[in-house]
Structure 1
Amino acid sequence: MLSNDRLNRSYMVLLYGALGFGGSLYSVLVTSAVIFSALKLVAGRLRDEPAPEIVTMAVAGLAYYASGLLIIVTNPGDAGNYPLAVERLLFIGFLPLYLQIALLNKEQLRESLEIGAAIGAAGVATWALIQWSLRPYETYYFRASGAPGNPGPFATTCALLLTVCLMAAVRSAKTRRRAIFLVASVLAALALMLTGMRTLYPALLLLPLLIIFLSGDAKTLLRRRGAVWTIGTMILVLMPVGGLVLYWRLSQLFQMIDLSGFAPSATNSLGQRIALLTCAYEGFLESPLFGMGRADAYEFMAACSRNLVGETLQFSHFHNALATAAAFGGLVEISAMLAMLLVPLYWCWHHRQDPARRYGVVLILSILTVYGLNGTSNLMLGHDIHDALFVHLMAVGFVLLAGETATARRRQAA
């Protein structure tokens, strides 16, 4: 029991600390945790009678993996589909990962997650500020990409670290601890602003509102003068840089709308996304049930965009989660992807009035908010960091959503 506690606590701190500093190192650590947990499950060292919440989420992960296999089977000549058999293996590791994490009691799990997230928040802010300091006169074009080398996964990382740090600040009773997590929250928010990721900018407002007003402690937190002064000071010291990037990025968006409205166009990113949505819809109509597979979808994207806007647009996805799923795998892929979102959403609704499960409910809803925003005009799943974050943090959320009786039974069985 003691070794399990030490292992899980240390690994959790390492995992979310590395998330801020190491980029794909996080994915490697999550994959290692899934393999370790799966071997323990096969060896009979992880035993449980999973609750319906866990079974349904595990089935959703299995269905998402099976959908990837179906894309391969229905497009046998498309070698670009074969990596799906490996890329999506992580999603069938939800159950063993859940069982391993559940060996840690809930308070220790929360504390380890929050400490790791605070370290990770310092990491993403450090990355973003160093990258900005190297190009301080390019603010109009600047976008922090951090260790992943890509603003999208880096922004997702920042948003989820912001989530955990805010939740820690809300539930902290000690002034010093609360101040630490408020500072960490602002650091994660600053890094998110510096990514220039317009898709996730709404999270800067939605996540605090969701966490504060669903946590049950909103009035108490808002009455704490220390919290207000800490947030105000950090905003004055750090936010001007992030706010400048945010301002320029939103200005660019309004300029694009003024230039070409919401019509397909090759001249700016908004017009390109409209063109990609149009092409994805046309591709879906050609193969609505099983989709076209990756390679055929890419070819269709190029030909369709060339006919539509007079220029070939070539991207790894259609810059919308539903559009990408529709083109790659049709209705089957759409259903599998939606199950990954709707199953946890259902259980959050089911347990919405249970105070003992509230932390898990708020954490899972925050994850769904971040990934839902990503899916509107960017990639939701299909990147190693996105996939690893979704699977691991969702497993943590379901452990915290599970009843105390189930948790105690798991610890006894171990």
Structure 2
Amino acid sequence: MFPEQLTKALLIPSKGHYVGIDRNNRIFTFIFALFPGLLASGTSVILVCAFAWALISLAVKRFPFELTRTDKIVASCVTLFVLTTVLSVVMHPNASDDKTFLLKMIPFLAIWFVIPRLRVSISGRLIPFLITGAGLGMIGSLVFSIIQAVFLDIRAEGGAGNAAVFGLFTVLFGSISLLNAHSESKTERIIAVAGFACGLLCAFLSGTRSAWLVMPFNFVILFWYLRGQELPVVSRSIKVVLAILIVAVLAIAGLKVKERYHALESDISLLDEKPNEISSLKARMLLWEGGMKAFLQAPLMGYGPQNRMEKVNSALDVPGGKKLLFTHVHNGFLNAAVDGGIVGLLGVLALLAAPLIAAFRKKRGPGRDIAIAISLLLVTSYVVTGTFGIMFGHDATDAVFVYLTIVLCWIAGEAVYLSVSQTAELAETDKIALGERTS
């Protein structure tokens, strides 16, 4: 039975120095994959716990501090983003908010210390938990979404507390779930397809139009990965279930697209009919206009994230009672430009490049293929949704990006693909291998 296999694969039987570290890595990765749609803030808690645990373990020399050349390049890209943000904060002090933005940078530094901890785990063993966890998390998120959309009559937010963030996570982790479509386990294939369908449904129920724009890109990436895999023969009953899922996705998609289209149509009409009324579209246009003006006034170093909206409102020259009460300008790149100017933009570009470098610099093999697929899904999802909304600066979006980048660094290019059931079968072998490391 699948639950028994999952338990056996997660909880390696026996005790031991490296056995315990590997077991915790598996548990952390599985729970992390479950959280984005169900309890988004849990992802940042997982990252901080993994960071603190790694620091303590390294301090007492439970495992060696070892990084490959690629690890160092990727970690340096992430650190460049941290340094550009810290520099913009320090250069433009604002006592009330400085500490908040500086503290937000600390989790990014986890990459230097969590990678060595993950390297204790045997090659290929964490990926099954990431992908299967993503599928199970999306199935649970759909239940959450339906309750919110049907009974509370709101845009689905799941456990993210924000429809836009929820849309980003569901389209990303739903896509990651489908990477298991070629598993030798029928149960895991069902979870993969169901998780993918549920992720798409959640994204539509969230009403996040930018998340919908991600879907065509992710379809291409998934097609590229899966076409090179040996897919199982689909039975007639499975075909019927797939047909039902497709109809369900299309039906809900049609309803939500129509609803959001009319909302956009209404906002466009208001631009001419009531130019002084601040609709959702008008607010976004003002944010972009104010952000661009603010950037051009300080193009090199910006104003610091703590002064962002003050400078945007100032650039728009709006009266005090009509200030835009937003925390960001609804464009991740423009956000970085206002915060840190050209230097800040370079920091964001370096951060976005990190997972791609981690994946493409690997040795050729099954592990490299899956790493490339995950990195492309990650960066595409963030860039597309971030162009119209938030990208970084939210605790959950930051944590998801960092943890997935860490996992991408850990994946070995030559590592073979394993399902949860295959990992469970190797539990005893893994116990012996990990036990021998302590001698």
TM norm structure 1? 0.87
Structure 2 unmatched runs, 5+: 1-17, 417-429
Cα offsets for 1:159-207 (capped at 9, x unmatched): 22212211112x3133342122111211111111111111111222321
Counterpart residue number, 1:76: 93
> Is the contact made by 2:180 and 2:189 (CA closer than 8 Å) also made in structure 1?
yes
Shift of the alpha carbon at 1:379?
0.8
Shift of the alpha carbon at 1:148?
2.2
Between 183-192 and 226-235, report the one with greater CA deviation.
226-235
Between 159-168 and 342-351, report the one with greater CA deviation.
342-351
SS at match of 1:47: coil
> Is the contact made by 2:366 and 2:413 (CA closer than 8 Å) also made in structure 1?
no
Change (3 A) 1:81 1:215: farther
Counterpart residue number, 1:161: 173
Q: Give the Cα separation in 2 of the matches to 1:251 and 1:354.
A: 47
> Is the contact made by 2:158 and 2:166 (CA closer than 8 Å) also made in structure 1?
yes
Counterpart residue number, 2:184: 173
Shift of the alpha carbon at 1:7?
1.8
> Is the contact made by 1:145 and 1:154 (CA closer than 8 Å) also made in structure 2?
yes
Structure 1 unmatched runs, 5+: none
> Which residues in structure 2 correspond to 1:253-264 (within 5 Å)?
253-257=264-268, 260=271
> Is the contact made by 1:78 and 1:294 (CA closer than 8 Å) also made in structure 2?
no
> Which residues in structure 2 correspond to 1:259-274 (within 5 Å)?
260=271, 267-274=278-285
Q: Give the Cα separation in 2 of the matches to 1:100 and 1:49.
A: 9
Q: Which of residues 61, 64, 82 is equivalent to 1:65? A: 82
Q: Which of residues 298, 306, 319 is equivalent to 2:309? A: 298
Cα offsets for 1:28-83 (capped at 9, x unmatched): 12211111112222333232542222101111222222222212220124532321
Q: Give the Cα separation in 1 of the matches to 2:277 and 2:53.
A: 47
Counterpart residue number, 1:377: 388
Cα offsets for 1:365-392 (capped at 9, x unmatched): 1100111112201110100110111111
The answer to whether structure 1 residue 53 and structure 2 residue 70 are counterparts is yes
Counterpart residue number, 2:222: 211
Cα offsets for 1:71-121 (capped at 9, x unmatched): 222012453232122111011111221222232234321111123222211
Q: Give the Cα separation in 1 of the matches to 2:289 and 2:129.
A: 45
Counterpart residue number, 1:322: 333
> Is the contact made by 1:326 and 1:333 (CA closer than 8 Å) also made in structure 2?
yes
Q: Give the Cα separation in 1 of the matches to 2:163 and 2:311.
A: 27
> Which residues in structure 2 correspond to 1:3-402 (within 5 Å)?
3-135=20-152, 138=153, 142-169=154-181, 171-217=182-228, 220-221=230-231, 224=234, 228-237=239-248, 239-257=250-268, 260=271, 267-307=278-318, 311-351=322-362, 354-402=365-413
Letter in 1 for 2:171: A
Shift of the alpha carbon at 1:132?
1.4
Q: Give the Cα separation in 2 of the matches to 1:191 and 1:325.
A: 29
Shift of the alpha carbon at 1:255?
4.7
Q: Give the Cα separation in 2 of the matches to 1:353 and 1:300.
A: 48
Change (3 A) 1:19 1:344: closer
Between 207-216 and 319-328, report the one with greater CA deviation.
207-216
SS at match of 2:97: helix
Letter in 2 for 1:165: S
Letter in 1 for 2:375: I
Q: Give the Cα separation in 2 of the matches to 1:100 and 1:163.
A: 27
Count of residues in correspondence between the two structures: 401
Shift of the alpha carbon at 1:276?
1.6
Change (3 A) 1:296 1:255: same
Q: Give the Cα separation in 1 of the matches to 2:388 and 2:276.
A: 15
Q: Give the Cα separation in 1 of the matches to 2:350 and 2:59.
A: 26
> Is the contact made by 1:215 and 1:358 (CA closer than 8 Å) also made in structure 2?
no
Cα offsets for 1:325-378 (capped at 9, x unmatched): 111111221111110112333454445964441111111111001111122011
Shift of the alpha carbon at 1:144?
0.6
Change (3 A) 1:234 1:292: same
Letter in 2 for 1:98: I
> Is the contact made by 2:301 and 2:341 (CA closer than 8 Å) also made in structure 1?
yes
> Is the contact made by 1:16 and 1:116 (CA closer than 8 Å) also made in structure 2?
yes
Percent identity for Structure 1 against Structure 2: 23
Change (3 A) 1:91 1:275: same
SS at match of 2:303: coil
Counterpart residue number, 2:3: none
Change (3 A) 1:118 1:346: closer
Change (3 A) 1:38 1:229: farther
> Is the contact made by 1:151 and 1:195 (CA closer than 8 Å) also made in structure 2?
yes
After superposition, the CA RMSD in angstroms is 3.0
Q: Give the Cα separation in 2 of the matches to 1:329 and 1:413.
A: 46
> Is the contact made by 1:198 and 1:250 (CA closer than 8 Å) also made in structure 2?
no
Cα offsets for 1:133-153 (capped at 9, x unmatched): 214xx5xxx411122221122
